[in-house]
Chain A
Amino acid sequence: MDEKPTVIECPKAADRDLTPLYLAGKLSRAEAEAFEEHYFACESCRMDVGKGSEFRAYFGKPAIVPVGRPPRSRRPWLRLAAAAAIALVAAGVWHWTRSATEMQSVSRGAEARIDRIAITPRADGGFDVSWPARLAAAAYAVEVFGPDGRRFWKTETREPHVRIEASVLPPQPTGRIFEVRVEAIDPAGQVTASGEASIGTDP
């Protein structure tokens, strides 16, 4: 009798690109973490991830590409923070007081995080997205990604909120998650902080 392994197929087979995207570091941090939680419990995807990492190594690529925060020593905010400190000291006590708050904020942003991104669904199917304003930000870039990691909408705004119209969202089958990524950009065009949040629906 043939003893071939019978591998349980994952119901998410339509999203098979998840594995190569994950290994190539092309999923957002939130998507990568959600996929990790999934493949620990899914034998089929777990095998795909293991095999995919071997293929990558076979082709001379890193088995997996880390995503998320860059190495600390390469963070541009360190230099920006130092320059901001010098400028603010020269500007006087009032500015210094403000800069202290600002520096503390940037320093906490050592994790470069924008937390508390609020997503409010609208009656017309769109969403209002808002986040705490960052003093150093000259603009914010907002991107929306589909469950396969593809970006399908992007905008820039000076305000710490944006409206995502229903018309820009693709049809949303039950259980799909869209990822919203917000980046704070300083006057020099550097990204100083970022954050993600998910939009999803119950089955």
Chain B
Amino acid sequence: MKTLRYGVADPAADTSAAPEPCELETFRLPLRLFAARRLRNWTIAEDVSQEVLRVGLEALNAGRVASRELLPGFLFKTAVHVCMHRSRSAAREKRALERFGVGLYESGPADALENALTGERRSRLRAAMAELSPDERRILELTYDQELDSDDIARQLGLRAGAVRVRRHRAIRRLSEILGVTPSCDRESRG
């Protein structure tokens, strides 16, 4: 039986155009998250994202990624490969340390993943959050702090789950505008 993946085409993108190197930057944080989930270490995840972006840049410069639609797949596969390689290296290192009685090697603790936000970024986020409505702030807090799903949030706030998703989506878009998040290179950061 064939199964479907979460594959969605981007209808507005000019997929035939060659990607620009600056487009790689929009993948930096997703790459770090991708690697952090697998390798459980934020520092190593940063190294992985850097390595994948370097490979991506080299591929762009060499013309190996001919169109924009091929870039995400190229980076995704490269990230999978790099993570697998790192994971194997870590396992080999752990076995070697254990063999020599150095003690158990623990991969990076989960708390390393909390260092994702610099002080400056946190201040800017706090200021941007203040521009949202109380309801929007509450929805973000219940979603990302309390980790409630839309149904539970809807029950708490007396809304429909669909309305919660729409408001959350809108709040994230507003914050992105305030913070100058740039979905692609032609949208300059306004932060």
Interface string of B140-172 (1 = CB under 8 A from A): 110111010110000000000010010011001
Distance in angstroms between the alpha carbons of A4 and B57 in the assembled complex: 28
Q: Please tell me if the beta carbons of A4 and B37 are within 8 angstroms of each other in the complex.
A: no
Chain A residues with CB under 8 A of B107: 71
Within 8 A of B (CB), among A1-44: 3-5, 7-8, 10-14, 16-17, 20-21, 23-26, 32, 34-44
A151 at the interface (CB under 8 A from B): no
Within 8 A of A (CB), among B111-126: 111, 113-117, 121-122, 125-126
Interface string of A58-81 (1 = CB under 8 A from B): 111111111100011100000000
Chain B residues within CB distance 8 Å of chain A: 1-13, 26-27, 29-30, 33-34, 36-38, 40, 42, 69, 72-73, 75-76, 94, 104, 106-107, 110-111, 113-117, 121-122, 125-126, 129, 140-141, 143-145, 147, 149-150, 162, 165, 168-169, 172-173, 175-177, 181-184, 187
What's the minimum C-beta distance from A141 to chain B, rounded to whole angstroms? 22
The residue on A at minimum CB distance from B111 is A62
Q: Please tell me if the beta carbons of B169 and A24 are within 8 angstroms of each other in the complex.
A: no
A104 at the interface (CB under 8 A from B): no
Residue in A13, A49, A67 whose beta carbon sits within 8 Å of that of B30 in the complex: A49
Distance in angstroms between the alpha carbons of A102 and B175 in the assembled complex: 55
A200 at the interface (CB under 8 A from B): yes
Q: How many residues of A contact B (CB 8 A)?
A: 68
Residue in A10, A12, A54 whose beta carbon sits within 8 Å of that of B117 in the complex: A54
Distance in angstroms between the alpha carbons of A65 and B162 in the assembled complex: 25
Chain B residues with CB under 8 A of A21: 149
Q: Please tell me if the beta carbons of B26 and A57 are within 8 angstroms of each other in the complex.
A: no
What's the minimum C-beta distance from B87 to chain A, rounded to whole angstroms? 10
Chain A residues within CB distance 8 Å of chain B: 3-5, 7-8, 10-14, 16-17, 20-21, 23-26, 32, 34-44, 46-67, 71-73, 119, 121, 148, 150, 175-177, 198-203
Q: Please tell me if the beta carbons of B145 and A63 are within 8 angstroms of each other in the complex.
A: no
Q: Please tell me if the beta carbons of A16 and B165 are within 8 angstroms of each other in the complex.
A: yes
Distance in angstroms between the alpha carbons of A119 and B73 in the assembled complex: 28
Q: Please tell me if the beta carbons of B114 and A63 are within 8 angstroms of each other in the complex.
A: yes
Chain A residues with CB under 8 A of B141: 59
Q: Please tell me if the beta carbons of B37 and A32 are within 8 angstroms of each other in the complex.
A: yes
Q: Please tell me if the beta carbons of B175 and A51 are within 8 angstroms of each other in the complex.
A: yes
Q: Please tell me if the beta carbons of A13 and B169 are within 8 angstroms of each other in the complex.
A: yes
Chain A residues with CB under 8 A of B13: 8, 43
Residue in B36, B42, B182 whose beta carbon sits within 8 Å of that of A5 in the complex: B182
Q: A49-B29, A62-B110 are in contact. List 14 more A-B contacts (CB 8 A).
A: A14-B162, A16-B169, A37-B76, A41-B8, A50-B30, A50-B181, A51-B176, A54-B125, A58-B144, A60-B145, A63-B113, A64-B113, A66-B38, A119-B1
Chain A residues with CB under 8 A of B38: 66
Q: Please tell me if the beta carbons of A59 and B145 are within 8 angstroms of each other in the complex.
A: yes
Q: Please tell me if the beta carbons of B165 and A14 are within 8 angstroms of each other in the complex.
A: yes
Chain A residues with CB under 8 A of B72: 40-41
| B4, B9, B10, B115 pick with most chain A CB within 10 angstroms | B4
Q: Please tell me if the beta carbons of B114 and A60 are within 8 angstroms of each other in the complex.
A: yes
Q: Please tell me if the beta carbons of A65 and B110 are within 8 angstroms of each other in the complex.
A: yes
Chain A residues with CB under 8 A of B172: 47-48, 51-52
Chain A residues with CB under 8 A of B110: 62, 65-66
Q: Please tell me if the beta carbons of B173 and A61 are within 8 angstroms of each other in the complex.
A: no
Q: Please tell me if the beta carbons of B176 and A5 are within 8 angstroms of each other in the complex.
A: yes
Distance in angstroms between the alpha carbons of A38 and B72 in the assembled complex: 9
Chain A residues with CB under 8 A of B184: 43
What's the minimum C-beta distance from A149 to chain B, rounded to whole angstroms? 9
Q: Please tell me if the beta carbons of A46 and B30 are within 8 angstroms of each other in the complex.
A: yes
